[in-house]
Structures are given as structure tokens and as C-alpha cells.
Amino acid sequence: MTEAFDVLILGGGAAGLMCAIEAGKHGRRVALLEHADRCGKKILISGGGRCNFTNIHCRPENFLSSNPHFARSALTRYTPQDFLGLVEKHRIPYHEKALGQLFCDRSSRDILQMLEEECRDAVVRIVCGASIGEVTKAVGFSVRTSQGEFQGKALVIATGGLSIPKMGATGFGYDVARQFGLKIREPRAALVPLLLSPPDRESYCDLSGVSAAVIASCDGVQFREKMLITHHGLSGPAILQVSSYWKPGAAIRIDLAPDQNLEFGKGPRSLVNLKKALHGILPQRLASRWAEVNAPARFTNAALADFDRRVHAWDIIPAGTEGYAKAEVTAGGVDTDELSPQTMEARKVPGLFFIGEVVDVTGHLGGFNFQWAWASGAAAGRAV
């Protein structure tokens, strides 16, 4: 049996649900096809179960892409205030954390239920458990699934990236793009913990759980947030942020004590007093270990100045990342040169749209990737 619609949306995550809502509100007959047994699984686990659903300070500068201007149009036309209006319409209590991050007071389920209710109001047909077999194009698009065949005048790919494969992530969206001749920017794990090389791992990773406020820098960008030492390397917001810009073989610089100066008290210049001086600016266990690993051979003025410099410029070359299993998002994806920034439609395949994480637009940590999902989904939903 074949069912016909105006719009077929593949993927029931944040971007797909928002696209379905907007398309339905504009009078389109919409079918949203999700391969999992329910929509929005990543929404449910986001923000520690409270969904960091947007960031009030969202700007194009908060996004990484081969074309840094691509996201501007969609982000301008669907803002954090627009999504907040939806949240407040449904009377979902929320709060602001540091740096403009907005979270649900109760649970991520509030956001998912809101989106599903909006889909019902827009008469969107949601089909879960629909494994995709084949996508073809003639006059319109045809999608063969385990739940039957669906036809649509427009097809929207909202299948996400490769991050968190245990939640069902696949490279299906990239396969569809290649099928229709679109270029892909090489995907890579982003917002992901970094692995230390064996010498650094042996020196520091038994301090797992220790955190410090740092500035992490890479490839001309820097982030001032917390760093966390793990059993395998480094994590925490500052490291996750900078990981999106890191390439294998490149160095990352970490200022372990921003705006703080190493000051010796009275007494002899020794390892004991060096540790005491560091205790004033670093967590105690990290301070002691850093002094032991990096202590100068001689406590001359020049050697101590160099030690102080390295506290503010710890240069490391990570051994790698913890991969897609621990990555919050996937960087890279469908090349933005292939898409209209106003509508997200493929320039050379009329009626084919790509939205959300499958596109080469990656937000910083802190609600920005959700805002890209809402904005890109709304742009396509209004255009189909």
C-alpha cells in the first residue's frame, strides 16, 4: 500500500519535529517517518534529562561550518525567543543557567510532549518503527519502509549525524545526499572528550574527577570554562568546546590558572614551597601533581618564570577523542554549498531538504545545537 503526502520527513528528532510542525501549520499534508520505536530519544537524554533547549545569547558566531555565514539566515528568522514563546504557551517551567543556557525545571519529557502535541494540532502523521529501505525520485519522492511505501512532493532529511550510535545514529542522511550527487564535508566527532597521550595519561589520569576553571585554545578559538580530568584524558565544557575545532596532530593550549599569578611566600625555593604556591591557584591534588611532573631542575629566577609560563600555557597534543560513542554532536556533514541558506533545499535537487545535525553546521555547547535544529527545521517547514 502506498500513501501520498505533500511532505515526507525522515527523522523524528528535534529538527524533524519542528519541520513537521511548521509544514503542517502551513497546510501541508505531512508524514514524519522515524526508524526508532519513538521520536525524540536524544531530546530525552539531553541536558542530563532536563534538555538545554536553547541559549538566549545565540549568534552565528556560536557555530562551526565550512561557510560561517550559512546559518545566519535561519537563525535570524527563528530565534531563541520564538522557541521560548512555544515553551511558555505550553506553560513549561524553565530556568537559566550560566552563559544563557535554558533548561526545563522538570524534565526533557516536557519539551518532547510539547513538540508531539504541536504535531497533533498540525495534523502530522507520525510513523515510528519505519526502517527505510529505499529512497527514489521520479515526479516526486518515494520512500520504501518497513511500514509501507510513502510518496511526497518534498522530502526532508532530518536523520542526524553519527554521534551516540547506541541511540540509533547512522550515516543514512549522508548516504541520501551522496545518492543525489551532493558533497559531504568529512564527518567527525565533536563536543567530545579528548584522550591524553600515554606519558600525560600516566602523569595525570589517576586524578580522575578533579576539575579546574581554565582557558582552552585551539585553531584560533578559546573557551573559558571548566576542565575535568577523566580516566583516559580530559573533558568538561572547556575541552568539549575546543574539541570541535581540534584536528588529529594539532596542539591544544590550556591556561590552568587564568588571571592568577604564581606567588612564592617566604622561605627557601623548593618543591615543597612550589606546591604551596600552586595550591593557591589550582585544586590541591592537581597543584601537587603538576609541581611534581614539571618541577624545574634548579630553582633559578628564569626556571621559575618558565614554570609559571607553562602553568598558563600547557601545550598538549591529544592522542585522539573518545569517538562518536561519547560525542554530543557530529561536525561536518552535507556541504552548505549544496543548500539554500533560506530554505535548506538542495540547489540541484528541487524538493529535497536537509536540516539539523546532518548539515555541516555545528553549534557550541550550551543549547546552540538545539537552536540550530529549531531554526533549520522551521526554515524548511515553511518552504516545503
Per-domain residue ranges of the chain: 2-189+331-383, 194-321
Q: pLDDT tens digits, residue range 87-100?
A: 999 999 999 998 99
Do 204 and 294 touch, CB atoms closer than 8 A?
no
In this chain, the answer to whether the domains covering 2-189+331-383 and 194-321 adopt an identical fold is no
Q: Across 229-238, 263-272, 292-301, which has the greatest mean pLDDT?
A: 229-238
Q: Provide Rg for the chain, Cα atoms.
A: 24
Q: Which residue matches cell numbers 537552536? A: 371
Write out the H or E segment, with its range, that includes residue 132: strand 132-137
pLDDT, position 2: 87
Q: Grid coordinates standing for 208?
A: 580522575
pLDDT digits (tens, 9 = 90+) for 100-135: 999 999 999 999 999 999 999 999 999 999 999 999
Phi, then psi, of 255 in degrees rounded to 5:
-90, 105
Q: pLDDT tier at 264 (50, 70, 90 boundaries)? A: confident
| Separation between Cα atoms, residue 275 and residue 295, nearest integer Å | 9
CATH code for residues 194-321: 2.40.30.10
Task: Determine whether domain 2-189+331-383 maps to CATH 3.40.50.720.
Answer: no
Mean pLDDT for 213-232 is: 97
Do 286 and 294 form a contact (C-beta atoms < 8 A)? no
C-alpha pair distances (Å), 313 with each of 73, 195, 229: 38, 18, 17
